[in-house]
């Protein structure tokens, strides 16, 4: 009878079981916690951009240059207007969102509805501009509603709650806008 080439020691088998347990814990702990969390999250961010309001407004309404999902977007596709307001699709690696402007006060305020095409979340972005002495103050509020009840929805709730993703997206958007406009 042939001897096996390799028999793992008990330590190696134990280490493998521990590693498997850690991987499973890391994968399922956020899902379990997320399944007990709420469906609604709010994030807000503010910045002052050292540029005149007209230039900041032109950037805010330029979806090709400054999409809602910022640097994660691979491509922005213009869609048909809804009620005279622009809509576009933002394609990312594994997901897409449709963004439609729902209200606009020229050079002052814009309300956007962001709908995940995967059906797991809907968000509303409210961008408000105000002229200030040093340039333009910009405030962004994001209200997110998670629609998914599955494993992905639980992970999304966990990320929005514990990883502060509801606050991160508006902050990243405004920071990119500020950095690029002030560099011009």
Distance (Å, whole) CA 55 – CA 131: 11
20-39 pLDDT per residue, tens? 999 888 888 888 888 888 89
Q: Give one word for 154, left, alpha or beta, with left for phi > 0 and alpha for psi -120 to 50.
A: alpha
- Other C-beta atoms closer than 10 Å to the C-beta of 138 total 25
92-125 pLDDT per residue, tens? 988 899 999 999 999 999 999 999 988 788 999 9
Q: What's the helix, strand, coil split of the chain in %, to 5?
A: 35, 35, 25
pLDDT for residue 69:
85
Distance (Å, whole) CA 122 – CA 112: 11
- In the chain, the domains with their CATH numbers are 10-183 (3.30.530.20)
Distance (Å, whole) CA 156 – CA 30: 9
pLDDT for residue 147:
84
pLDDT for residue 3:
66
pTM: 0.81
pLDDT confidence tier of residue 142, bands split at 50, 70 and 90: very high
By C-alpha distance, which of 112, 124, 122, 132 is closest to 53? Answer: 132
Lowest mean pLDDT of 23-27, 79-83, 133-137, name the range.
23-27
What the block records as the tokens of 27 is 């994968």
pLDDT confidence tier of residue 43, bands split at 50, 70 and 90: very high
pLDDT for residue 62:
95
């Amino acid at each position: 009878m042939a001897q096996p080439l390799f028999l793992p020691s008990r330590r190696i088998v134990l280490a493998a079981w521990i590693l498997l347990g850690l991987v499973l814990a890391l994968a399922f702990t956020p899902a379990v916690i997320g399944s007990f969390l709420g469906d609604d999250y709010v994030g807000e961010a503010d910045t002052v951009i050292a540029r005149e309001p007209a230039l900041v407004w032109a950037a805010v309404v330029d979806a090709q240059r400054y999409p809602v999902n910022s640097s994660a977007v691979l491509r922005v596709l213009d869609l048909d207007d809804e009620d005279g307001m622009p809509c576009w699709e933002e394609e990312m690696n594994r997901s897409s969102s449709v963004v439609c402007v729902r209200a606009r006060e020229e050079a002052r305020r814009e309300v956007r509805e962001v709908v995940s095409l995967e059906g797991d979340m809907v968000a509303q972005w409210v961008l408000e501009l105000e002229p200030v002495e040093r340039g333009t103050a910009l405030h962004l509020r994001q209200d997110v509603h998670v629609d998914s009840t599955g494993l992905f929805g639980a992970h999304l709730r966990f990320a929005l709650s514990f990883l502060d993703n509801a606050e991160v997206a508006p902050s990243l958007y405004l920071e990119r806008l500020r950095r690029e406009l002030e560099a011009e």
